[in-house]
């Protein structure tokens, strides 16, 4: 079996990996000549992935997997996906759409042998077998087993439904997670006002089986990245339900509250020297799309503080990638663990022991 992967970013790499794992021959194409020359330069360890990038594309693939971006806003503009489909659908017996689609998007945009299999594994988990696979089909034209089987293995549960249900399900997961994070942050704000330590509350919530061990109940800076805000904005844009707008505005105002808490702890921000640890939108990755940690850093600078930015993964001007232990030697008015990458754990323990810290954070980075 032979697959062609269109768009060699995070999801393209994950897709090629799944096919290769299933023993398919995999070829790839990206519109960006730099990516085309050297697929997957973006930091994830894709060692061992063997994808041939041909000079000229063929017309006889068993599956063409489209993994191009959809815009990070609420407009649901699927033009890039539509164009990629027009340009490449004829090359394969089946087309697999991996790019996120809005509800009704597949039926309005595609025709022919099309399967919608959105990526639901988060950045950083792309090489993990996820316990769930969502598969959207045209019920009158079901794909053969071998075309979809690379997307699930024995340990994953495939949920196969019509396109609309799967589009809704993909977005619903992210809306639910964004909601959970926002509730945790709001509870944390209330806990502060009552003098209660929210980390105890978090333990209680996790211990309740109806909420669960893996629930997103850690308070922090708020949700960011390229999926949660985009998917929630889509819902807010398309429905009359006021909850979705409220979640978005609460996520914004929460960051202001965090800044106020830092300001209060320091007796003002002007002229203060702060070290922001972690800039990625979540631990363990280098992605800064809609990063709350970046927004926090900008907010602190906007209020007159001097901010030293550090992240072990994010490269960029003015961002230090020094070893975390070296930072513990420097002198700041406050260290703020904005994105708790695992690299900070030891350093944080040292800071705590020497009582050098003035602020701390949990998974999503709240002081
Ligand atoms: N990254 C994630 O964790 C994740 C998770 C779930 C869903 N998604 C969704 O998957 C899709 C892809 O996301 P990504 O993170 O891989 O994006 P990305 O930006 O990392 O990669 C997309 C790649 O597609 C290429 N491209 C753009 N237009 C093209 C075209 N016409 N032909 C060929 N190549 C083209 C770009 O050059 C880029 O290399 C998006 O719809 C996104 O919302 C991403």
Q: Where are the domains of the chain?
A: 2-155, 171-353
pLDDT for 117-139, tens place per residue? 999 988 777 788 888 999 999 98
122/20 Cα distance (integer angstroms): 20
Residue 99 alpha carbon to ligand 1 centre in Å: 7
Q: What is the mean pLDDT of the chain?
A: 89
Q: How far is the CA of 67 from the CAs of 9, 28, 123, 351, in angstroms?
A: 8, 11, 14, 43
Q: Is 283 in the pocket of ligand 1 (CB under 6 A)?
A: no
Which atom of ligand 1 is closest in space to residue 287's alpha carbon? 1
Which atom of ligand 1 is closest in space to residue 123's alpha carbon? 3
Q: Is 65 in the pocket of ligand 1 (CB under 6 A)?
A: no
pLDDT of residue 362: 45
pLDDT of residue 75: 66
Fold observed for domain 171-353? Rossmann fold (3.40.50)
What whole-number percentage of the chain has pLDDT above 90? 63
Residue 81 alpha carbon to ligand 1 centre in Å: 10
Residue entry with tokens 């990629």: 84
Which atom of ligand 1 is closest in space to residue 226's alpha carbon? 43
Identical fold, 2-155 and 171-353: yes
pLDDT for 244-258, tens place per residue? 999 999 999 999 999
Which atom of ligand 1 is closest in space to residue 42's alpha carbon? 20
Q: How far is the CA of 363 from the CAs of 118, 128, 176, 184, in angstroms?
A: 26, 21, 18, 11
By alpha-carbon position, which residue is closest to atom 20 of ligand 1? 9
- The answer to whether residue 365 scores a pLDDT higher than 60 is no
H or E element in which residue 275 lies: strand 273-277
pLDDT for 23-82, tens place per residue? 999 999 999 998 888 776 555 567 678 888 898 998 899 999 999 998 655 566 789 999
247/262 Cα distance (integer angstroms): 23
H or E element in which residue 137 lies: strand 132-137
Query: Residue 29, class by beta-carbon neighbours within 10 Å (0-12 exposed, 13-18 middle, 19+ buried)?
Result: buried
Span 294-309, average pLDDT: 97
Q: Is 285 in the pocket of ligand 1 (CB under 6 A)?
A: no
Q: Is 58 in the pocket of ligand 1 (CB under 6 A)?
A: no
Which atom of ligand 1 is closest in space to residue 100's alpha carbon? 41
pLDDT for 198-246, tens place per residue? 989 999 999 999 999 999 998 889 999 988 998 899 888 888 899 999 9
pLDDT of residue 310: 96
Fold observed for domain 2-155? Rossmann fold (3.40.50)
């Amino acid at each position: 079996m032979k697959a062609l992967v269109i768009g060699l970013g995070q999801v393209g790499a994950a897709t090629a990996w799944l096919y290769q794992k299933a023993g398919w021959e995999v070829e790839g194409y990206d519109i960006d000549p730099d990516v085309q020359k050297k697929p997957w330069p973006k930091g994830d360890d894709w060692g061992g992935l063997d994808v041939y990038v041909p000079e000229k594309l063929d017309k006889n693939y068993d599956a063409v997997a489209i993994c191009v971006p959809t815009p990070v806003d609420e407009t649901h503009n699927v033009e890039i996906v539509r164009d990629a489909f027009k340009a490449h659908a004829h090359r394969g017996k089946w087309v697999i759409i991996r790019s996120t689609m809005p509800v009704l998007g597949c039926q309005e945009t595609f025709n022919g042998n099309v399967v919608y299999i959105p990526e639901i594994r988060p950045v950083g988990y792309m090489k993990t077998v996820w316990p769930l696979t969502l598969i959207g089909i045209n019920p009158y034209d079901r794909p053969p087993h071998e075309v979809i089987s690379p997307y699930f293995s024995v340990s994953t549960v495939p949920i196969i439904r019509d396109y609309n249900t799967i589009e809704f399900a993909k977005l619903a997961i992210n809306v639910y997670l964004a909601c959970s994070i926002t509730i945790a942050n709001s509870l944390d704000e209330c806990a502060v006002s009552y003098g209660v330590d929210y980390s105890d509350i978090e333990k209680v919530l996790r211990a309740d089986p109806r909420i669960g061990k893996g629930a997103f109940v850690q308070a922090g800076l708020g949700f960011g990245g390229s999926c949660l805000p985009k998917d929630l904005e889509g819902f807010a844009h398309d429905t009359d339900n006021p909850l979705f707008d409220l979640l978005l505005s609460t996520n914004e105002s929460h960051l202001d509250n965090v800044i106020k808490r830092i300001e209060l702890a320091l007796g003002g921000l002007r002229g203060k020297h702060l070290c922001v640890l972690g800039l990625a939108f979540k631990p363990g990755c280098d992605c800064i799309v809609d990063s709350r940690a970046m927004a926090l850093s900008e907010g602190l600078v906007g209020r007159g503080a001097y901010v030293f930015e550090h992240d072990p993964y994010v490269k960029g001007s003015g961002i230090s990638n020094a070893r975390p232990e070296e930072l513990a030697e420097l002198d700041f008015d406050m260290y703020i663990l904005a994105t708790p990458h695992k690299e900070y754990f030891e350093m944080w323990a040292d800071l705590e022991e020497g009582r050098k810290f003035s602020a701390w954070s949990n998974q999503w980075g709240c002081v």
